[in-house]
Amino acid sequence: MNTKRFCLFLLSIALTATTATAQSKHGWGNKTVSGLPAANANKVTGNQSTDDGPRDKIEGTWRATEAFPDNSVFKVLFTFSAGRDDKSGTTIHSDELYFTGGPSCFPSQGVWKRTGDRTFIATDEGFCFDPFGSPIFAPAGKIQFKSAVTLNHQGTSFDGTMHVEAFDTNGVSVFTADAVLHGDRMNAEGP
């Protein structure tokens, strides 16, 4: 039964991506402020500054994308925090589709580790729930992400890979997929 739910989850992701692509001038892309078009509303802000700290550190928040072999691409936020030393720390990962149809998942939490010069690995997990089951929001399992990234020489972006695996409530793997990652460091901006 849980395998069917995860298959429905994947189907809902595909349908959501198809629907989002088919829509034009609907939803957030059509928002305006005081009647003026929202300039740059769909623009992903790149790197405003290249002098925000050491160039070989992953700590910070990153706007990223995960691209899957079926050509689906999803937006992701990663936050890497300092740990007990400069070679490890914690991470929080949120994905734009965590709250699509069942199962829905919470943002994942995990750890990162430096593996070399500007190279890092991370593992994070999130709990998933069935929003349509009985009882509502009954546990549906967990989702796990394993990533490997390399920072560019400026420390402003990364490229890498991600392995995604979903497990039912008994810990049985019900889905796996691999993606290509690209991320740009988020920098503080004033109003």
Q: Is the peptide bond before 103 cis (omega within 30 degrees of 0)?
A: yes
Residues near 10 by Cβ (< 8 Å), separated by ≥ 6? 175
% of the chain surpassing 90 pLDDT: 57
**pLDDT of amino acid 130:** 87
3-state secondary structure of 154: coil
pLDDT at 154 over 60: yes
CA pair distance 13, 186, nearest whole angstrom: 26
Residues near 120 by Cβ (< 8 Å), separated by ≥ 6? 58, 80, 112, 113, 114, 148, 149, 150, 151
CA pair distance 145, 160, nearest whole angstrom: 13
Structure tokens, 18:
């198809």
* 5-52: pLDDT as tens digits: 444 444 344 333 333 333 333 333 333 333 333 333 333 444 444 444
**DSSP summary character for residue 187:** -
Query: pLDDT tier at 182 (50, 70, 90 boundaries)?
Result: very high
Residues near 13 by Cβ (< 8 Å), separated by ≥ 6? 72, 74, 97, 100
pLDDT at 168 over 50: yes
* 101-146: pLDDT as tens digits: 678 888 999 999 999 999 999 999 999 988 887 787 789 999 999 9
Mean pLDDT throughout 70-85?
Answer: 94
**pLDDT of amino acid 100:** 67
119 conformational bin, left if phi > 0, alpha if psi -120 to 50, beta if neither: beta
Mean pLDDT throughout 142-165?
Answer: 97
Specify the range with the lowest mean pLDDT, choosing from 1-5, 140-144, 160-164: 1-5
> Average pLDDT, whole number, for the chain?
78
Highest mean pLDDT among 7-16, 48-57, 73-82: 73-82
% of the chain surpassing 70 pLDDT: 70
Identify which of 100, 120, 101 has the alpha carbon closest to the alpha carbon of residue 112. Answer: 120
3-state secondary structure of 18: helix
Mean pLDDT throughout 65-91?
Answer: 95
Mean pLDDT throughout 60-78?
Answer: 95
pLDDT at 184 over 90: yes
Q: Which domains does the chain have, with CATH numbers?
A: 2-22+58-185 (2.40.128.120)
